[in-house]
Amino acid sequence: MTPFAEALAGAERWLLPGACLTCGASVGPADPLICPLCQSRWRRLPEPQCARCGQPRPGDPDPCRFCAPWPPALDRARSAVWLDATAREAVHALKYAGWWRVAEVLAVPMVRLGMVTSETVLVPIPLNPKRRRRRGYNQADVLARALAARTGAPVDTVALGRTRATPTQTALTPEARRANVAGAFAAAGVRGARVVLVDDVLTTGATLAEAATTLAEAGAASVGAVTFARALPPVH
């Protein structure tokens, strides 16, 4: 296809998705890109949860092990849904299929977490510049803008930057993830701000923790984090 034809095909898809992005059921042009049935299948993280990290802790009296390795800079984190097969497809559509408008749907359960208000500043986790160029956008930026549209919170996409590219975290152990992102960010212009970091998925929180440390060192008054999905705990 010529670049023009490609752009046109993209525009058609954008105007008339026709089918739910995760199940293929037909949807109208004015409908959300993920049908209500698929949205209803997303599983919220159950209560009770750790007050700090939001990890469900059924009757666990010990200090939370999930957020124990996090630095004090990361005050609080919440995720809307578990990263199960259905949620994973929604994230995939946002990240790899170029359906950035799907962020409008993903933002709805994220707003319900109550982390974002007009008093907070939304700071998306930056992508490696190379990956950003390849994808054409940063999925965390798009999510942050969708959250902003619903809450009136400002988005700051320049407060946090990458100092270096980091290899993908997918195959790494929690310890290796922390080492992988150490010193990966630089922050400026956040003195006194109540920052809420935005990302699509929380796995161990290593990236959010490193970003929070950097923002706190740059003078942020507090740093929280909100993600659409959270990795399912390993099965015992």
Q: Applying CB under 5 A, which residues contact Zn ion?
A: 20, 22-23, 25, 35, 38, 50, 52-53, 55, 64, 66-67
User: Cβ closer to Zn ion: 95 or 230?
Assistant: 230
Alpha-carbon distances of 55 from 61, 115, 180, 226, 231, rounded to whole Å: 13, 15, 23, 13, 10
Do residues 103 and 176 make contact, with C-beta atoms less than 8 angstroms apart?
no
Least Å from the CB of residue 14 to Zn ion: 18
Least Å from the CB of residue 229 to Zn ion: 17
User: Cβ closer to Zn ion: 38 or 80?
Assistant: 38
- The DSSP H or E segment spanning 109 is helix 103-111
User: Cβ closer to Zn ion: 25 or 158?
Assistant: 25
* Torsion angle in degrees (nearest 10) through CA of 81, 104, 138, 8: 130
Least Å from the CB of residue 50 to Zn ion: 3
Do residues 20 and 30 make contact, with C-beta atoms less than 8 angstroms apart?
no
User: Cβ closer to Zn ion: 38 or 155?
Assistant: 38
Least Å from the CB of residue 61 to Zn ion: 13
Do residues 154 and 148 make contact, with C-beta atoms less than 8 angstroms apart?
yes
User: Cβ closer to Zn ion: 66 or 100?
Assistant: 66
Least Å from the CB of residue 39 to Zn ion: 8
* Per-residue tokens: 71: 């630095």
Least Å from the CB of residue 99 to Zn ion: 13
Q: Is the peptide bond before 71 cis (omega within 30 degrees of 0)?
A: no
User: Cβ closer to Zn ion: 103 or 218?
Assistant: 103
Least Å from the CB of residue 27 to Zn ion: 8
User: Cβ closer to Zn ion: 102 or 211?
Assistant: 102
- Least Cα distance to 162 among 191, 142, 133 occurs for 133
- φ, ψ of residue 171 to 5 degrees: the values are -95, 10
Alpha-carbon distances of 154 from 115, 122, 123, 127, 195, rounded to whole Å: 13, 6, 9, 20, 10
Burial class of residue 195 (count of CB atoms within 10 Å of its CB; 0-12, 13-18, 19+): buried
